[in-house]
Amino acid sequence: MTTKPSATPPEFNRELVAKAIATGTNPNSFAAKMLGVYELTVIATKQTERKYEKTIKEAWGHEKSVMESDSLDTRIQKHSQFKPNQTNAITEHYKAILDNLSRLRVEFAKIKIDAQDGKTAPTLKDAIDIYLKKDSLSRIELTSGIPIFFALQYHAWELESYLNGRLSLVRKATKTKRSSDGGRASNEGRTHLIEDMRNTLSSIKIKEKYKSIEELFGKQYETILSTLEKHEKIKSSSDGKIPYKIPDAANLPTTFRKWAVDNEEFRKEIDRLVQKKMVAGTTTDIHQPAEPDRQA
């Protein structure tokens, strides 16, 4: 008789629990909440050092050996030596965490929280444990520690959000500039294409005007298409750095009508090459395709 194997319990994920307690879940305990914030701080700091190892090491300079320790205390002691050459959201929040942890240690020293039985707590984590295990905290003790925990919660959450892609490292000003530059490049590319196509049309010699833009396009297909292909090659060779949209060849008659409305010089070339249709005694603004013959 075979026995059914028991289900394997899921692996305990301490990081997820710490994030939940620190930022969302209410643990119904002041001490658990503060410990969750500290745990999230440790997690965010270690993740940053793993993912951005080169950047963080360069910022530590001669003190980069602090990253070899599992304890945050070595980093806290030398936090003033962390000096990134170029700051971004990652280095700013990382530095803010170290500064606030150092401040917390100083505040605990002032109110003598980090000492027990005449001995100084060996690590900041030990000092936090002493602080949170007190039966009651005075107003001075609360105001010495709680604001710093709130600051740590903010910086750790922001840092962890950047690390996991919930926030983008690209600043809003940079995004705006990229969007503006892209729009400018698109407009310039479109203008260049229209001008090139106008020059192409101006090179066409005719004795009699075409009945419609469609007829013009059909008769001069190869000439018009060569100009379109030239711009497709320009865009391809520039790796998309000229982000204007190349119109489909099949839609060029419709595109020509739009360009004729927007660009007076282009319209003049269309007027030179294509007959204007007469509707109710007036000339239409844009040269429409010829209507099919109707039988009585």
Q: What is the pLDDT of residues 33-75, one digit of tens each?
A: 888 889 889 989 999 999 989 999 999 998 988 888 888 899 9
pLDDT at 283 over 70: no
Confidence of residue 101 (pLDDT cuts 50, 70, 90): very high
Percent of the chain with pLDDT over 90: 13
Which range, of 50-54, 82-86, 123-127, 185-189, averages the lowest pLDDT?
185-189
pLDDT at 221 over 80: yes
C-alpha closest to that of 275 among 262, 263, 291: 291
Provide the sign of the torsion angle of the four alpha carbons 175, 179, 182, 184, taken in this order.
Answer: negative
Distance in angstroms between the alpha carbons of the first and the last residue of the chain: 93
Confidence (pLDDT) at 114: 61
Q: Confirm whether pTM is higher than 0.85.
A: no
What average pLDDT score do residues 197-215 get? 88
Q: Is-contact 209 274, C-beta < 8 A?
A: yes
Confidence (pLDDT) at 206: 86
Residues 6+ apart with CB under 8 A from 63: 78, 81, 82
Q: Mean pLDDT, the chain, as a whole number?
A: 77
CA–CA separation, 6 and 9 (whole Å): 9
pLDDT at 96 over 90: yes
pLDDT at 255 over 80: yes
Confidence of residue 248 (pLDDT cuts 50, 70, 90): confident
